[in-house]
Amino acid sequence: MGNWVVNEGLSIFVIAALPLARAPAACLNFNCMLILLPVCRNLLSFLRGSSACCSTRIRRQLDRNLTFHKMVAWMIALHTAIHTIAHLFNVEWCVDARVNNSDSYSIALSKFEDKPGETYLNFAEKKIKNPEGGLLVAVTRLAGITGIVITLCLILIITSSTKTIRRSYFEVFWYTHHLFVIFFIGLAIHGAERIVRGQTAQSLIQHKPEICWKKIDEWGKIKECPIPQFSGNPPMTWKWIVGPMFLYLCERLVRFWRSQQKVVITKVVTHPFKTIELQMKKKGFKMEVGQYIFVKCPMVSRLEWHPFTLTSAPEEDFFSIHIRIVGDWTEGLFNACGCDKKEFQDAWKLPKIAVDGPFGTASEDVFSYEVVMLVGAGIGVTPFASILKSVWYKYCNNATNLRLRKIYFYWLCRDTHAFEWFADLLQLLETQMQERNNADFLSYNIYLTGWDESQASHFAVHHDEEKDVITGLKQKTLYGRPNWDNEFKTIASQHPNTRIGVFLCGPEALAETLSKQCISNSEAGPRGVHFIFNKENF
Amino acid sequence: MGPGGPHPELQPGSRGGKAPAAAPESIPPAWLGLSPGGGAGAVPELRTGRDGTGRGGTGRGRGGGAEGERPGGRGTRSAAAESEPSPSRAAAAAMGQIEWAMWANEQALASGLILITGGIVATAAQFAQWYFGVYSIAAGVFVCLLEYPRGKRRKGSTMERCGQKYMTKVVKLFGPLTRNYYVRAFLHLGLSVPAGFLLATILGTACLAIASGIYLLAAIRGEQWTPIEPKPKERPQVGTTIKQPPSNPPPRPPAEARKKLSEEESAAATSVPSGPQENPIPVTDEVV
């Protein structure tokens, strides 16, 4: 503890603790700057859509914005912990020095106060010993108060952001996350009192610590050791965070403005098995395939926004979403749209809707490949509805310009309930393809992964019928999980020397499987078949 | 949004030669009562049968957009802070039923860890009155052990924490003491107080006190801790699906017919190789 590093006043007697607090503080500046940027959804969408900026591969990294946000958050937590622990040591030792419970050098340095001819070094003002002294510093100084408050906010944010809470009780997550406002404000003023002090540059010239530390009693009396002067560093954090805070503020304003635009429900369709389809129109709404929107229905809840994948194609003059009724909000929407009533609903009775978006994800890249594999698991098939429709329109409009030549579509489902509205779409496409003698354009495989014995016997009996008993499609439903290795190898052999895009919307485990398959079935050289994996983030 | 009248999108070929939807199943569509001939903006080519065949809609002009003039339209919408969405895409999770105990559990677990960390710092560095640090470590360990097993949610399935079944057994032993959240709330409040005497552990105090408050809220709403029990694996009993073995021999033609058949068979066997099995007695397939 008696060791010292040259010029920092405090570090003269609190050795490693001050640099150990300063270092994570610097890291925190950087991380707190970064954390706001990945959640500026509109900004990211804009960057992703503007081809001017960078290549597609780089822009695709923007899809992983939430992962980045979480990583930075963990870094903030780690650095906060180190910073706090280091300052615990600082406070303890400073208070000790104030109450003369330390080495003489430290005590001498602590004697300075803010009066004419002097500036203080030790921020512990009152002569109260530890632990009360430390506690007093923490609750009376600005740095202490802001430190405790923002650390508490951080802890609350983290505990409400765990996967369990996020997936099950989203409101808790969302509202608690807004504590970040307090966090950033507290962070900006955390160092405003400038209590971490060091010797001024001017004083360092006159009073050299390496000479004068031995002559404590003669300070101010001999020429070579005048009274040392100290000052605090100006707070730097605000310079780091003010930019991203402004960007985020703009982001929220943009979201709000977009949500104020008028949205009209043009049609509501009820599908079997508790699914409804809303068709809407909004002025100036432009979408790409596979994008999603956030929807708010003030009649149901004034504050809740829920994301839904768009199931219509850009070529249509409306946009639509399919909503499964599973919770309070969707049930409220169901009732508000009058779906529980049998008679015709007047147009003006339909509720007002606010829409934010559309926001883009990986599906937009589907058309840049010649061959694609689309894999949707369960409800994850929804973005592909949009893609298939759009492919259909493009094919009908101008088949020669379409780069896409072949689609392999895999739909994995646990039970038959999920089939209904989408099966209709597939059936339609199947019929249309046949009429145009191009049945090979789309090859689809539906896998029923949750079959049981009674279903199996049913299927076995109807095996020979022309249309599939579950979906009514000509292509038979397959049971169990697909053998991906086989699938990839077959496709690779049928399309040598092509880049094949693989698009998945489904669970993590499947993403890992497919990712590995893509890598192992791609050839090493530039020529040869390459599978490129794209995963939807929801 | 088209007004009433002729709707170009319903005519074939209006969209560059696409054929209208081949009307699939004649299942009566369960769509919202939409009168035929309306239809703002529906594209029939991809309107499938089940969902209403693309006819109708709010074809009275402006559709649902006239809310501005309608009562309860604009006025109720406040410019409040927007809320972010629910996690799942085409379905909203059950938002209304929040189980506070789940969050209280996460918070208490975090508080336990913070208490342990603060306690280690205070003890190892031998700060003044460092024995409070020792207490903090002990309290932190206790809280972590108590809170590690996650309780079962009332609705839906619960993800277990890794290896929590051992602690579940111990926590279950205390019966109402651990089941009741009032007890937990006051216990945590009490545990947090002594740690408040040291600066190093005061953060743990604050966090645990907050957890205690959330547990109190959970208790007021009548939540309880129920252990997650492993479900007994249902092995498909091969034996049970097989009914009793047949007690009668298979039906056979009477003795004379059998004799005749065997003569024919031996004659046939020498001449023609056996093709598909010809059943001597017609067998009906009784599978459904």
Q: What is the DSSP letter of A353?
A: B
- Tell me, yes or no, if B64 comes closer than 8 A to chain A by beta carbon: yes
Which residues in chain A are closer than 8 Å to B78, comparing Cβ atoms?
302
- Intra-chain end-to-end CA distance of chain A, in Å: 53
Q: How many CA atoms lie within 13 A of A218 on its CB side?
A: 10
pLDDT over 70 at B191, yes or no: yes
Band (pLDDT 50/70/90 cuts) for residue B33 is very low
Beta strands in A115-219 (DSSP E): 197-199
**What is the structure's pLDDT at B236?**
62
Task: Give the Cα separation of A325 and B90 in Å (integer).
Answer: 9
**What is the structure's pLDDT at B212?**
96
Name the nearest CA neighbour of A299 among B93, B71, B149.
B71
Which of A158, A169, A277 comes nearest B99 by C-beta?
A: A169
H/E segment holding residue A505: strand A499-505
How far is the alpha carbon of A230 from chain B, nearest alpha carbon, in Å?
26
Which residues in chain A are closer than 8 Å to B52, comparing Cβ atoms?
267, 269
More confident residue, B241 or A329: A329
Task: Give the Cα separation of A189 and A177 in Å (integer).
Answer: 20
Beta-bridge partners for A535: A504
Neighbours of A185 (CB within 10 A): 16
Edge-to-edge strands, sheet with A442-448? A478-479, A442-448, A406-413, A371-377, A499-505, A530-535
Q: In this structure, are residues A446 and A472 in contact, taking their beta carbons and an 8 Å threshold?
A: no
How far is the alpha carbon of A525 from chain B, nearest alpha carbon, in Å?
38
Task: Give the Cα separation of A447 and A276 in Å (integer).
Answer: 24
Q: Which residues 112-171 of A are in CB contact (within 8 Å) with B?
A: 129-131, 134-135, 137-138, 148, 151-152, 155-156, 158-160, 162-171
H/E segment holding residue A279: strand A275-282
What is the DSSP annotation of chain B? ---SS--GGGSTTTTTSPPPPP----PPP------TT--SS--GGG--GGGTTT--SS-SSSGGGGGGGSTTSSTT---PPP----SSSSB----S---HHHHHHHHHHHHHHHHHHHHHHHHHTT-TTTHHHHHHHHHHHHHHHHHSSPPPPSSS--PPPTTTHHHHHHHHHTTHHHHBHHHHHHHHHHHHTGGGGSGGGHHHHHHHHHHHHHHHHHHHTT-B----PPPPP----HHHHS-PPPSSPPP---HHHHHHHHHHHHHHHHHS---SPPPSS-------
pLDDT over 50 at B195, yes or no: yes
**What is the structure's pLDDT at B67?**
26
How far is the alpha carbon of A456 from chain B, nearest alpha carbon, in Å?
13
Name the nearest CA neighbour of A207 among B29, A81, A519, A215.
A215
Which of A162, A174, A323 comes nearest B90 by C-beta?
A: A323
Tokens of A297: 């229905």
More confident residue, A219 or B162: B162
Task: Give the Cα separation of B135 and B196 in Å (integer).
Answer: 11
**What is the structure's pLDDT at B50?**
36
Q: Give the predicted TM-score (pTM) of the model.
A: 0.70
Helix axes A170-177, A142-159, angle to 10 degrees: 160
Tokens of A62: 């923007």
Q: Which residues 343-362 of A are in CB contact (within 8 Å) with B?
A: 343-354, 356
Peptide bond into A131 cis (omega under 30): yes
Q: What is the DSSP letter of A190?
A: T
Q: In this structure, are residues A376 and A309 in contact, taking their beta carbons and an 8 Å threshold?
A: no
Single-letter code of the amino acid located at B272: V
- Cβ contact, residue pair B73, A267, below 8 Å: no
Which of B41, B98, B106 comes nearest A171 by C-beta?
A: B98
Tokens of B101: 């105990």
Task: Give the Cα separation of A479 and A465 in Å (integer).
Answer: 17
How far is the alpha carbon of A237 from chain B, nearest alpha carbon, in Å?
23
**What is the structure's pLDDT at B84?**
35
pLDDT over 90 at B3, yes or no: no
Residues whose CB falls within 8 Å of the CB of residue A416, separated by 6 or more in sequence, listed in order: A448, A470
Which residues in chain B are closer than 8 Å to A324, comparing Cβ atoms?
90-91
Single-letter code of the amino acid located at A32: C
- Tell me, yes or no, if B271 comes closer than 8 A to chain A by beta carbon: no
| Count of positions (residues) in chain B | 288
Residues whose CB falls within 8 Å of the CB of residue A233, separated by 6 or more in sequence, listed in order: A191, A194, A196, A197, A198
Task: Give the Cα separation of B253 and B265 in Å (integer).
Answer: 15
Q: In this structure, are residues A501 and A508 in contact, taking their beta carbons and an 8 Å threshold?
A: no
| Burial profile B24-59: b = 16 or more Cβ within 10 angstroms, e = fewer | beeeebebbebeeebbbbbbbbbbbbbbbbbbbbbb
- Tell me, yes or no, if B120 comes closer than 8 A to chain A by beta carbon: no
Residues whose CB falls within 8 Å of the CB of residue A439, separated by 6 or more in sequence, listed in order: A430, A433
Single-letter code of the amino acid located at B107: Q
How far is the alpha carbon of A461 from chain B, nearest alpha carbon, in Å?
8
pLDDT over 90 at B280, yes or no: no
More confident residue, A76 or B26: A76
Task: Give the Cα separation of A182 and B174 in Å (integer).
Answer: 40
pLDDT over 70 at B129, yes or no: yes
- Cβ contact, residue pair A264, B70, below 8 Å: no
Inter-CA distances, B174 with A500, B192, B212, Å: 59, 21, 19
Tokens of A332: 């409220």
Peptide bond into A358 cis (omega under 30): yes
Which residues in chain B are closer than 8 Å to A137, comparing Cβ atoms?
199
Query: Which of B31, B58, B62, B109 has the most A C-beta neighbours within 10 Å, making it the best mutation to test the interface with A?
Result: B58
Band (pLDDT 50/70/90 cuts) for residue B40 is very low
What is the DSSP annotation of A257-275? HHHTS-EEEEEEEEETTTE
Give φ, ψ of A247 to 5 degrees.
-60, -45
Single-letter code of the amino acid located at A238: W
Which of A168, A277, A352 comes nearest B51 by C-beta?
A: A277
Q: What is the DSSP letter of A169?
A: -
Q: Find, in chain A, the residue whose alpha carbon is nearest to that of B84.
A: A305
Alpha-carbon dihedral sign for residues A58, A64, A66, A67 = negative
List per-residue pLDDT tens for chain A, 538 residues long: 333 444 445 444 444 588 888 899 999 999 999 999 999 988 887 777 665 556 666 666 777 788 899 999 999 999 999 999 999 988 888 888 888 887 777 787 788 887 777 788 888 888 888 888 889 988 999 999 999 999 999 999 999 999 888 877 777 888 899 999 999 999 999 988 888 887 788 888 888 878 887 777 777 788 888 888 888 888 889 999 999 999 999 999 998 888 788 898 998 888 877 888 999 999 888 888 878 888 989 888 877 788 888 999 888 889 999 888 877 788 889 988 888 777 777 777 788 888 887 876 656 678 888 899 988 887 778 888 888 888 888 877 876 777 888 889 888 887 656 557 787 788 788 787 778 777 778 888 888 777 666 666 766 676 666 566 555 565 666 777 888 888 888 888 888 888 898 988 888 888 888 899 888 988 888 888 888 887 765 3
Which residues in chain B are closer than 8 Å to A73, comparing Cβ atoms?
none
Q: In this structure, are residues A357 and A292 in contact, taking their beta carbons and an 8 Å threshold?
A: yes
Which residues in chain A are closer than 8 Å to B62, comparing Cβ atoms?
264, 347
Q: Which residue has the tokens 């990945």?
A: A38
**What is the structure's pLDDT at B219?**
93
Average pLDDT, chain B: 66
- Tell me, yes or no, if B27 comes closer than 8 A to chain A by beta carbon: no
Edge-to-edge strands, sheet with A292-296? A306-309, A292-296, A354-359
Q: What is the phi-psi region of residue B92: left when phi exceeds 0, alpha when psi lies from -120 to 50, beta otherwise?
A: beta
Which of B1, B15, B199 comes nearest A134 by C-beta?
A: B199
| Burial profile A264-282: b = 16 or more Cβ within 10 angstroms, e = fewer | bbbbbbbbeebbbbbbbbb
Inter-CA distances, B36 with A74, B58, B60, Å: 57, 10, 12
Name the nearest CA neighbour of A456 among B90, B284, B102, B241.
B241
Tokens of A518: 């893509």
Which of A131, A306, A458 comes nearest B92 by C-beta?
A: A306
ipTM associated with this complex: 0.75
